Structure 1
Amino acid sequence: MPADAPEFIDEVAELDPAFGEPFDAVYEEVFSDGALSVKTKLLIMMALDAGRSQSDGVEIVAQQARDAGASEEEILETIEVAALVCGVQGLATGSSALSEDS
């Protein structure tokens, strides 16, 4: 099952289907199981958001990853990878993915 597309994609598709629907189709194709599982793709996306200081994206994608079966340990290790590649900012932003139970 693909992850839900961000709301802005749906909004654009509704206002301008010729422009927005291709984005929606690509999103659904990318976030379907393939050589990589949806869970793995979401963890990658979360790490990229952490590296780009997108804390809202980190939180949203972390929850989508949990819904796709990611454990808190997998989320933590993903944040650690982002910190290794992106430095302290990746760690600071990525920490928003941690549940209060971790």
Structure 2
Amino acid sequence: MSRNYPPFVSVLEQKDPKLFEIVSKNFDLAMGPGELEPKVKVLIALALDAFANSPEGVESLSKTARQMGATEGEIAETLRIAYMVSGMKTLSTLSNAFK
């Protein structure tokens, strides 16, 4: 049909076409042409999937990023940011123990 959707979105096209229409429009809006370069959007999604503890998403998105020309350094930096944000969340929460 149109774009290369993740498998968990693509399956909806046959199983629930109405939901697929809604989800695919949202995907196209977020990941389609816009102010950010496509590679940057994929790297942001990679960081979010790492933060959300999605091994399959991290593997898939890192492959996609590489196919789009992302370097190993760009991927590493993206994942460092995800790690830093998740660590800061823990520090923010644990600081309540010292109030």
TM-score range, shorter chain: 0.7 to 0.9
What corresponds to 1:35 in structure 2? Answer: 35
Stretches of 4+ moved more than 4 A in 1? Answer: none
Paired position in structure 2 for 1:20: 20
Q: What CA distance in whole angstroms lies between the structure 2 residues aligned with 1:30 and 1:83?
A: 23
TM-score of the pair, normalised by structure 2: 0.77
Q: Deviations over 1:60-79 (max 9, x none)?
A: 01111111221111001001
Whole-angstrom distance in 2 between the partners of 1:86 and 1:4: 29
Task: Report the TM-score when normalising by structure 1.
Answer: 0.75
Q: Tell me how far 1:21 sits from its aligned partner.
A: 1.8
1:57 lines up with 2:57 in the alignment: yes
Question: Identity of aligned pairs, percent?
Answer: 35
Please name the residue that 1:91 is paired with. Answer: none
Match of 2:44, SS state, is helix
- List gaps (5 residues or longer) in structure 1: 88-102
Aligned length: 86
Distance 1:76 1:3 in 2: 27
Higher RCO (CA 8 Å, separation ≥ 6 residues): 1
